[in-house]
Amino acid sequence: MKTLIIGIIAGSLTTIAFLPQLIRAVKTKHTKDLSLGTFSLFGAGVFLWLIYGILLKEMPIILANAVTLIFVLLIAFMKIKHG
């Protein structure tokens, strides 16, 4: 049970860390300072973590990485659209 709680907290913190960037990008439509290459690599890593979580059937890994991947894709889309 402790392991599950730690996983949920860790996943929540790393996922929430992207919210300020996403909110700022949506509000200002300013993404010039963001690196599409960095977000692409990070998105690929998050996608692989998601697959890893699915294979292990570990809900904290699945949920955190699914939400983070959505955030990363939204930011990357905005970078492409407004960059």
pLDDT digits (tens, 9 = 90+) for 42-79: 999 999 999 999 999 999 999 999 999 999 999 888 88
* pLDDT beyond 90 at 25: no
Residue-level pLDDT at 65: 96
Residue-level pLDDT at 31: 86
Domain 2-82 fold is Monooxygenase (1.20.1280)
Task: Return the residue matching tokens 């700022």.
Answer: 24
**Ordered DSSP codes for the chain:** -HHHHHHHHHHHHHHHTTHHHHHHHHHH---TTS-HHHHHHHHHHHHHHHHHHHHHT-HHHHHHHHHHHHHHHHHHHHHHHH-
